[in-house]
Structure 1
Amino acid sequence: MAHIPDGVLSLPVLITGAVVTVATVAVATRRMDYDRIPQAAVLAAAFFVASLVTVPVGPSSVHLVLNGLMGVLLGWAAVPAVLIALLMQAMFFGYGGLMVLGVNTANIALPALLCGALIAPRLHASEGRATLMWGALAGGLAVALTAVMVSLSLLLSGPEYLPAGKVVAVTYLPLMVAEAAVTAAALSFMQRVAPELLLAGRV
């Protein structure tokens, strides 16, 4: 449930999400490494496809988000990559929506940036099990922060969304484990075959 649909959130939350996303994209376009655009396109496509494969968990469903992986590999470029992928999903498949695009982008991209700032520098200096550890932390932390932001977005829109916020928190627990495993495996593989890719995610 990383994609909050249109018609759910209050106007103040929608405006705040839009402002935060516009400001973050503006900063990202000035600070990102344009040599990483092809890499950003590949990860945006992976994010786009992964989000279409949902797994039922109780009354809700979850899907891989990959924002931890995007954050440590892309840094600031993760922001426009997430925005473009979410826009395409909204237009082609009706996931989320255009009105809530700013909130959904912020909920996914801001945790990615935090992971890029905190974990990407340590990945460059790591190897073996250390890479697995930092990768798992990036994947799990990014999803946990996204769950918190999605829940807050719902709760700030009205107390009637408290049950939905609790459902989000519970359903994201198995997703954290899956994201940690996928991100750790992906980064460990890259560390062995193309370690230079781990230099790009510094924010």
Structure 2
Amino acid sequence: MTTTLSEKAKAELGSLMVNTTELVDLLSLLPKEHLNEYPLLQKEIFSKHPKVKGYNKALKEKRFTKEEYRDRIFARLDIFAYEMAVAMNTDYLIDRVMLIVGSEIDRIDDLEINEIGADVLQRILLELSTQVRKQVQPKADHPFLAERGRIDHTFWRHADKAFDAFEEGYTTQAALDAWCQLNLHTRCPQSFIRWLKTHEDPREINEWNEYVGQSSK
């Protein structure tokens, strides 16, 4: 398959090919499996990267240990997870813990995995993984934030209701469109079903909540 580039894109590609340092930096950020066919290149891009050299030098000078480095990473991930989790509906988790400790809030600190339940923990981890994807989605992916074209604010302000209708069985464009006309007094955008299959419940999307909040002011 041949990709045809515009002249401007060709010029940028040519500039990148000539600028070896910039190209190497770009390649170093690729997932390793993308360079499986170039094992030596993959190895050298990583081992000779100045940041990797700096890390190895710091280890050698005992400025920190690998474990301390790892722990700092996980501490940062803890913050990410908390910020995403508080934006999610986690009542099922609270209900589960409530049944175990009741009003003894201090007991929460000593709960074991098997007490909370593997199924509950798996559910929240899956929801967090979905949130990660939503967090990094460019805002332009959300039609209600589009800078160009006509936005049906009447529909998008009530996208949560349309999502609920979809969950209740209005799963085709025709059925959901008819439901929207009857209940929201507007049409269902052709792209909505495809959008919700990617993003699911609008109420769990920070940008949508901000959009609705701004619309209600």
Larger radius of gyration: 2
Which category of TM-score, normalised to the shorter sequence, fits these structures?
Answer: under 0.3
Q: What is the TM-score of this pair, normalised by structure 1?
A: 0.25
Higher relative contact order (Cα pairs below 8 Å, separated by 6+ residues): 1
Q: What is the TM-score of this pair, normalised by structure 2?
A: 0.24
Instruction: Looking at secondary structure, tell me which structure has more helix per residue.
Output: 1
